[in-house]
Amino acid sequence: MQYNRTDNIQPIFVFSGLSLIRKSKPFSSEDTRPGHRSVAWEFYEKGKLDAAMSKFASGGGFHLPDVLNLVFYILRQHNIEFIRAPYSPWAQLAYMLNHPRQIIHAIYGGDEVLMWNVDRIITAIDFTKGNYQTVNKKTVLNDLHVSEEQFLDICILAGFEYCPTFPPLSVISFTFKGVQDLIKQHKTGFNAVQAYSDDANVMKTGYIDVFCRTRCAVKYHLVLTDEGEVKPLNIEQAPNDIHEFIGYRLPDEVYYYLVRGLIGPQVINNLISGVLIENAPLDNGETTEYRNFLLQLLSIRTQTLSLLTQPLHQFFQSRKVACYFWFDPSTEQIMYHQPGQGGTESQNSANFLNNVYEKTSSWNVDNEHINAEMKDQKADQVDIAFCVRATETTAKASKTIVTQSNSDKILEEKNEIVANVLWKLLEIRDFLTSSKHVYTTWGRALAKSLSTLTNPTRSEQEAYLTAFELIRFGVLTAHPYSKTYEKHRGEDKQQHHITLIARTLSLLPMEFKNVPWSGSFSRDLLVFNGFVKALDRSYRNLCEMLTLSFFMNDLVKKERSDYHEIADSLPYLTDTNVALGIVTQHYLEQCLDTDNKAALASTEAIFTTCTNIKSDLMKGVAFWNGLIAGVAILKETGKISDETYTMFTDANDWLQPKVKF
């Protein structure tokens, strides 16, 4: 970004939007990533770190969509322009380049963009030397002695994101030259795949259909026009069945909010495709507890889907959407997201899963009340802690209930929208009551924990919300899960205490130096992190669809310039890693054999990536102390068992002498 400023370049980043619809069944092809990860862990346990890292890399450890919210936040902080394309960024860039007003002057990206109507792309830039490399499409066509249409066929048969490599080419030693020869022999890609129509793998994969749909998807891809509409490229020749190879058409308003960064694509993808596919997490998801947890999360995900479909056409409201899990790929878990979809009588009637918009309609708190409450709290932002404190008494909560006079009032300010989204979230997840907006027992516990910190950070607020959810689900526990991977130090009781404390503190972020991670990994903590990520991402999607619901139901001012600011203000912008849990576990295990000072020194010597381990541990302990205070309220009201309460208090009694630095 600094080089761009120095060289007077004004970049526009374009990111992927929705996925293209696929005809193949979920898990119809083998997912090799879990196997790579298993081998990687075996290498790691044997001390073969380089081999382990190589296998981890091929195991799909990094998924770009998981970090896009953070990337958007960073770009916005630096005033860098960016958009999310309705579908492919390459098609969107091609449209922008070829526009009569020449919205952009050049494209810097991958070779795939040459499949679209683009004459030249930049493939590399050396800012230090002040030069760049390009690929000229005409030169490529001349060198290959093929036409532009044949070049497109070659690229599709070679395989890319939308289409696998032509199966007969995978049997032999695959080369790009081999695909070129195939096209020269058969003149067109369609003729080539037709010539192999009797091939077993071609028939099994339905490749002829895949090829045709992919070709149409490239030529008639949907892009956002300068008029704010989503239209196909080459619109004059576009067929009328674009939904067959792109996906079902959404209202332009939904595309607009996606492009402007108000919402992400995941829930919309689930609706358009009709499937929510749950792949194995980084630890491979081998525990019974995690698999049961995913089934329990279906309620949140159904509510999220209900919020999306409620303002849409009847076609989407009645659309069947099912969840498929990698561990049971043949079983579909149907998400009944609107009343009258079928299923059992209880699933068919209106309930808090399929009628969530109507059930949470008592929130429409305007800016006058929010500003007064912010002044009273001396708060400078609307967040979870603010919304919890704003309903701490019956009198204060009553002011948030919609009345006849303000039921139709349009929310205009960012703070109004964010606050009402968070209040609805707290009601949906049973921290606030529907009728009076006062605390439930879980709300009292959350409020108590938040009150123990003078000025809880955003990450601490989110961590408390996550912690109480995981306690409610029964997975934030001291007990080992059904499968464990590591031998821990200490006696059984000590191990249980360390496990519970490390899991809890792993909910918080750490401060790092700008260097690669040094120190150990923990697959057991990664298992716990799988629960955290699944829950937090479900929460994020729920918040985004609550926000979209306000816009689509005409409850807020729509024309605005702060869509990204609204998105940035919603919780769970980024994932939390397990670093603090690993550091905590190491420190507490060292405390079994030595004093606190020596244990801290040992921890600092090993985890050199961390900037201030002592400070992070102290923040973690303060968070832990607050959680214990909240757990006590759950015990008083019978929301948790005596065994669960004792599990926390015994761990707390054991911990306190070890955190006096």
pLDDT digits (tens, 9 = 90+) for 336-376: 999 888 777 777 777 888 899 999 999 999 999 999 999 99
**Strand 12-15 versus strand 328-334 pairing type:** unpaired
User: What would the mean pLDDT of 76-95 be, rounded to a whole number?
Assistant: 95
Percent of the chain surpassing pLDDT 70 = 99
End-to-end CA, the chain = 42
- Is the pLDDT at 61 greater than 80? The verdict is no
Domain count for the chain, please give it.
1
Give domain status of residue 534, yes or no: no
Give domain status of residue 337, yes or no: no
**Within a 13 Å sphere around the CA of 424, how many CA atoms are in the beta-carbon half?**
32
Tokens 């919304």 sit on residue: 387
- Is the pLDDT at 455 greater than 90? The verdict is yes
Q: Exposed/middle/buried for 131, CB within 10 Å: 0-12, 13-18, 19+?
A: exposed
User: What would the mean pLDDT of 496-524 be, rounded to a whole number?
Assistant: 94
> Which pLDDT band holds residue 63 (cuts at 50, 70, 90)?
confident
User: What would the mean pLDDT of 154-182 be, rounded to a whole number?
Assistant: 85
Describe the crossing of helices 288-309 and 523-552 by its angle, rounded to 10 degrees.
10
Least confident range of 57-66, 257-266, 414-423, 434-443? 57-66
- Is the pLDDT at 328 greater than 80? The verdict is yes
Residues ≥6 apart with Cβ < 8 Å to 312: 250, 251, 254, 552
Give domain status of residue 639, yes or no: yes
Residue type, 559: E
20, 162 in Cβ contact below 8 A? yes
Q: How far apart are CA 467 and CA 300, in angstroms?
A: 16
Q: What pLDDT digit, counting tens, does each position of 120-131 carry?
A: 999 999 988 889
Give domain status of residue 427, yes or no: no
Describe the crossing of helices 596-606 and 613-636 by its angle, rounded to 10 degrees.
120
User: What would the mean pLDDT of 317-339 be, rounded to a whole number?
Assistant: 94
Q: What pLDDT digit, counting tens, does each position of 523-547 carry?
A: 999 999 999 999 999 999 999 999 9
Q: Exposed/middle/buried for 240, CB within 10 Å: 0-12, 13-18, 19+?
A: exposed
Report the mean per-residue pLDDT for the chain.
Answer: 93
What residues make up the domain containing 616? 459-480+488-522+578-661
Give domain status of residue 518, yes or no: yes
pLDDT value, residue 262: 96
Q: Exposed/middle/buried for 404, CB within 10 Å: 0-12, 13-18, 19+?
A: exposed
Q: What pLDDT digit, counting tens, does each position of 198-209 carry?
A: 999 899 889 999
Residue type, 10: Q
- Is the pLDDT at 587 greater than 70? The verdict is yes
Give domain status of residue 239, yes or no: no
> Which pLDDT band holds residue 405 (cuts at 50, 70, 90)?
low
Residue among 353, 344, 268 at smallest CA distance from 309: 268
Give domain status of residue 447, yes or no: no
pLDDT value, residue 453: 96
Give domain status of residue 599, yes or no: yes
Residues ≥6 apart with Cβ < 8 Å to 550: 411, 417, 420, 421, 556
Q: What pLDDT digit, counting tens, does each position of 34-54 carry?
A: 888 889 888 888 888 888 888
Percent of the chain surpassing pLDDT 90 = 79
